[in-house]
Amino acid sequence: MRQDLMSLEERLGYRFSDRRLLTAALTHSSYVRENDGQEQDNERLEFLGDAFFDAVIGEELFHMFPNKEEGFLSRVRATIVCERSLAEKAGQIGLGGFLRLGHGEEKTGGRQRSSVLADAMEAVMGAVYLDGGFDQVRRMTLALFAREIGETARGHYQTHDYKTRLQEVLQARGITDIRYAVLKEDGPDHDKTFTTGLYVGGQLQSEGTGKSKKEAQQQAARNILERENGNVL
């Protein structure tokens, strides 16, 4: 494992002072469940890394587009930092090969699953922050997304963030009570499908499904936007 982690550090361009943080970032909850729950999984680090990806890319866009409104910036950021793009970055450095997975997750292709890879990428960045601080996180994030940032600066970007678009539409009508909640989870722990409800004003208005909670939320928002060609509610 030591040699493996050294190889991963080389690909990341960062050497950990405390490799236990990196090990935790690579540990899926399925592994912990199958090993008596004695180790830490990567979910708390994932939460931390998610926030820093948003912060770093958000700052870049803030300076890149000084005259653009908040909604535009949010949509572009969500396009750059999304499950698909994070999974792609994880694939580029071969992160899947370093993950610690339970047998069930392993057998069902967890090392190639976008949601697992994206979560692990976020967890690794959370671990980098705890080990080396924000400057290291910023450097690594800008290096990872250098191509996307460059394309965005040249005007090549898409803004398919349905959650943000729906929020803008509803807020323009004075509606601010927008909430997402998981309605059910189907399948075994290593291969779940989530169904998420979208509540507006306390009323269930749409449902979405996906292999991750984020994907299900985007689908729920998309469904309501596409209803009657965007004439929401």
- The DSSP output letter for 42 is S
Alpha carbon distance 8, 99 (integer Å): 11
Which residue among the candidates 41, 46, 105, 122 is catalytic per the annotation? Answer: 122
Tell me, yes or no, if 122 is annotated catalytic. yes
Report whether 48 contacts 131 (CB < 8 A): no
3-state class (DSSP) for residue 25:
helix
Taking alpha carbons only, the member of 149, 119, 155 closest to residue 58 is 149
Alpha carbon distance 1, 43 (integer Å): 21
Q: Identify any residues that bridge with 195 across adjacent strands, giving them in sequence order.
A: 184, 209
At 88, the amino acid letter reads E
Tell how strand 193-200 and strand 203-210 pair up.
antiparallel
Which residue among the candidates 50, 60, 161, 215 is catalytic per the annotation? Answer: 50
Tell me, yes or no, if 50 is annotated catalytic. yes
Return the active site residues: 50, 122
